[in-house]
Every structure is written in structure tokens, then in C-alpha cells.
Structure 1
């Protein structure tokens, strides 16, 4: 299953090699509780635990109603109908204490309000330039490039840089797997998804993604096998895909 996104794919994953402060972009909220909930939400969203992620996001906003980055997340995961209202609310927040990362993200929302087809490339370049050693900046740049701008080459370039900077950040290999599939490089796609499983063996999404790889590679028995693993680990949506894979076995 592709990572995360409805509006775009931001992402935000488990922190296995760095502290939260080192992994994530800085935020202006002073509530440690709210920040911890946002980081939990990020981890959950990255591995496709949407319901649980939204619950943690709600906790962050309840703890700090003016938490700018939490509002950004809320907008990204809103429905198409509710997203403009959430964007307006986000832009109405006090800008006085916003840090550089938040100002950059605010500029993107302003662009989107003016033109919903706006590309994110220049904003992401600015974000990475401002935070070149912060893994989340590269993660966001990769996901925006892939899902918003449909620029596979830029997305892969950012993802490869992220893999060097934070080699144990598992969800990035999921993104890389899909990017390589887009480029029809199935050998590298498989290697990336195997890395995702190795780093996150308890995540159902890792097996669902590998199942999709096998489906695209027309290895239907293997696809069904991995979809079944995802189902057994709690990803009920994989059942229909497993049945489809089985139906294609000759």
C-alpha cells in the first residue's frame, strides 16, 4: 500500500537511529505532550495506521490548539470538502513565533489557497536547503515530489539522500520501492521493499507493499502469500487484494 497520502504524502516515521529532536523538523509549540502526540501520529501515519494516527493528532491539537504543524497535518489528511476550511484556520494562526520550517510550510499553504494545482518543488528545495541534516525535510521533499508534483526523479533523489542520512528509517524504503516500480526497475524495487520488511518486520504495510510488488511482477502466488501475511497482521483491506491475486493464478 502506498504511504500515507490523501492531499499529499508527508510523512513521518519511526525514529530508530536518531532522537525525535534530530529526526523531525522543529516546531514552535512549547507543549511536550502535544509534540509527543504529533510524533506518535507521524509514526503511525508512516506505516498506514490511519485511525490511530488521527487519534494522536487529535490529542496534539487538544493539548495545544495553536500547534501550527499539527494543523498542517490535519489539513493534509482532511477530505477534499473540509480541507479549504482547515487551510483557512491554519493560515489564521498567529505567525509571530513560527520557526523557519513552519514559515516555509505556511508559504506552501498560501500558494495552494491561490492555486490548488501549485507545485511544491520550490518549497521543498527551500525546506531541504534550510534543514539539510534533518531527515524529515528530505522525507517530506521526497513525498511531495512523488505524490503532489508527480516527479519521480526528484522524489527518488530525495529518498536516496534520506537513505544515506537515516539508513534505518524504514518507511523511506517503502517509498523507494514504489518509486522504482514507477521507473520499471523491479530488481531495485524488490530490494527496497525487502529492506522495509527487514527494518519493520511487525508492520503489516511492509508485507502489503511487497505483495503489490509481486502483483505488478505477475507473481500472483507470491502476491497472495504476502497479502495473506498483511491480513494476518491486521490489515483487513489486504484480503480483497489477496483474493484477487489468487484468482489470477493459472
Structure 2
């Protein structure tokens, strides 16, 4: 008797699972028209890869689906997400010119392809709204609408609201929090974005994309070391995540830039301090003595370090005091051994003969690391500054 009861329970469980699976699938995947069972299975697997942002896997699965059914409309739709520009274009052509049997949702997507072909900047919001109207509980339709709405600041609140609806409809879809995180990043809502990305990692800890996304968050808040670690984690989970490898290199470069900028900032401040001390021996030591040296003062160029120092010392003899105050400063690092410092300054000076005067100007210096020492190789001093 117990064996029969147990068997009934197993059969009931299988039956229930069989009933639940199509419902879950209906919520996650747009209905697809095909007579090929193989294409249908591959389509759902490809859509799973889409949700996991595993586009290399998606393309492989989708290619197999199109081989199983060369006239598979939803296969062309998924192909339109290809990283290859020509492949995307070919897919949109197939969709726009499709003449086979289609369901209502596929007809909407065909119209989308027609509109995109006519206008590359076309926003798919109208079609995505139609899809949501056709399939009001479909997570994919809703997230696609949210994604398109999220592109503009004015419609971003609606996008976030839709994503919250999706999370309630199906709390098991981790990628909802991914899209939400990026929309919040766009609004510079960094704390909220962090919560969304952390939730994404919590729900899909074995997937690469959550760590890639968290890396993007770290980059946005200038935490480059943490970003590099997060991108590295993504690569360790999935070595096909080549975008994470590229981003990791960028994060490491940003770390170097910060370090260089910090070093040069100290030297640029010291250069100003030495100038204000009126100790020209200290001041001129910041400049490179080699042939690359160039100093431009109000359009007049001095290409000799000795000529430059002579003019500086001669000028010193004419003044009782002077004062330079940096009002604004930017530091750019185009390469590891190059830094460009641009300063807006105010200058006041009291000559030995004459009245105190003041001016506002700009001082741009190009610093180069030569044998481990940062020196100014080029400088342009412009005053008065025309605003």
C-alpha cells in the first residue's frame, strides 16, 4: 500500500512539473512558430543564454536552431543580437522580408525590423509596448520594453517600475537586477545600483556576467582595483567572456593613471610653491634641460633651457614679491610616462618700481618621466586669459 502511495506521489509530482514548465517558459520566452521540435528546444536554451548574457553560447545554440529550421523567424530575431555587425544586418533583412507563418508577437517584431531598416536610430518602444500588451506577463517582453525606455532619462522611472513588476512576476530571473543596476548607474544612483548588482550576484553566483556588471559599477565609482578583481572573476568563471578581459586591462590602466596623476599632482603643487617662494634655483629644477625643452609665454617661444632660466632670474630681480594661486586644475595621463597639467591661475605681482598688478591666466605643462624623474618638457603660459 505504501509503495502504491509513493508511486502516486511521484506521478503527481511529474505531472505537476509537466504543467508548470510550459507556464514558466511562457513567462520567459516569446512564443515561437516552428514545426521543428529541435529548433524549439534550442531556442529556449538560446534564450536562457540570453538571460545569462552569454552571447557566444547564444549564437552557437541559435545557429543550430536555424540549421534545424532554416525558416525559423525567432532564430533570426536572436541573430539580430549578434556581436557581428554583418550578421545583425542579415538577420534584420530576413526578419523584415519574412513571408512565412507568424504569430502575433512575431508580426510585431517583423514591423520592428522594417522600421529599423528604414531608420537606424529607430527606438523600439512602440513595438515593445505592443508585445507587452499581447503578453502582459511575459518577462522578456517587459524587460525589453524597460531596456528601451531606460535609454532616456525622462522614461527611466517607468523602466525601473516595469523591472520591479518583473521581479514580482518571477522572482527567479536574476538578469532583471542586472538591467536595473545599469539604469540606476545611468542616473548616478550608485548606492542603489550596488544593491541591484549585489542581488544579481547573489542570485547567479556561478555566472560570469554578474561579476562583469559589478566591475562596471566599480569603474563608475572609480574603484579600479575592485573593478579589475571583479572582471578577473568573470573570466575565471567563463573564459569566453572576452569583454571582461578587455575591461580588466582598462581597469588596471586606470589604476596606473591614478597613481601617475597623484605623483604629478604633488610635483605640480611643488612647482607652484617654489615659484611663490621666489627661489628660482628650486623652481627651474622642475624643467628638463634637454633638447625637447620648450617654453611659450604669451606666444613667445623659448627653446633653450639656459635662455629660459636667464629670463626667469632676470625677471626675479625686477620684483619685490609675487603670488600665484591655482583656481582650477586638470591632469590628463595619455601614457604611463606622460602627464599634461592645465591650471587656471590668478597672479599678482609688486615690482621694485611701479604698482602692484594682477591678472588671470592659464599654465599648461607637459611632464615626462625621464629615467625615473618627472620633468616639464613643454610649458605654455598665457595671460591675460580670455574667457
- 20-29 vs 146-155, greater mean Cα deviation: 146-155
The separation in 2 between residues aligned to 1:40 and 1:197, in whole angstroms, is 21
The structure 1 segments of at least 4 consecutive aligned residues displaced by more than 6 Å after TM superposition are none
- Do structure 1's residue 229 and structure 2's residue 214 form an aligned pair? no
Shift of 1:17: 11
Aligned counterparts of 1:246 and 1:161: Cα–Cα separation in 2:
39
User: Would you say the 8 A contact 2:29–2:47 is kept in 1?
Assistant: no
- Of structures 1 and 2, the one with the larger relative CO (CA 8 A, separation 6+) is 1
1:152 matches 2:161: no
1:50-98 CA-partner distances (Å, limit 9, x unpaired):
2221110101101111111111111232644454443232233334x31
Q: Structure 1 unaligned runs (5+)?
A: 1-15
**Maintained 8 Å contact 1:17/1:169:** no
Residue matched to 1:244: 253
Shift of 1:120: 1.3
Cα shift at 1:149? 10
Question: Of residues 15, 18, 39 in structure 1, which corresponds to 2:44?
Answer: 39
Per the alignment, residue 28 of structure 2 pairs with 23
Max Rg structure: 2
Match of 1:167 in 2: 171
Q: Which residue of 2 aligns with 1:8?
A: none
Larger proportion of helix: 1
CA shift at 1:166, angstroms?
Answer: 1.5
Return the offset for 1:206.
0.7
Q: Which has the higher strand share?
A: 2
The residue number in structure 1 matching 2:358 is none
Question: 2:124 & 2:218 partners in 1: Cα distance?
Answer: 31
Distance 1:35 1:241, change over 3 A: farther
The residue matched to 1:214 in structure 2 has which SS?
A: helix
Q: Aligned with 1:208: secondary structure?
A: helix
- Kindly indicate whether residue 66 of structure 2 is the aligned counterpart of residue 61 of structure 1: yes
Match runs of 1:179-198 below 5 Å? 179-198=183-202
CA distance 1:151–1:80, change in 2 (3 Å):
farther
Q: Are the structure 2 counterparts of residues 223 and 98 from structure 1 closer, same or farther at C-alpha, using a change threshold of 3 Å? A: same
> Is there any run of 5+ residues in structure 2 with no aligned partner, and where?
1-20, 263-387
Q: TM-score, normalization: structure 1?
A: 0.82
Q: Is residue 70 of structure 1 aligned with residue 79 of structure 2?
A: no
Aligned length: 234
TM-score, structure 2 as length reference = 0.55
Q: What per-residue deviation string (whole Å, max 9, x for no partner) do you get for residues 86-136 of structure 1?
A: 3232233334x3111111111111212222222211111111111111111
Equivalent position of 2:180 in the other structure: 176
Farther off after superposition, 32-41 or 177-186: 32-41
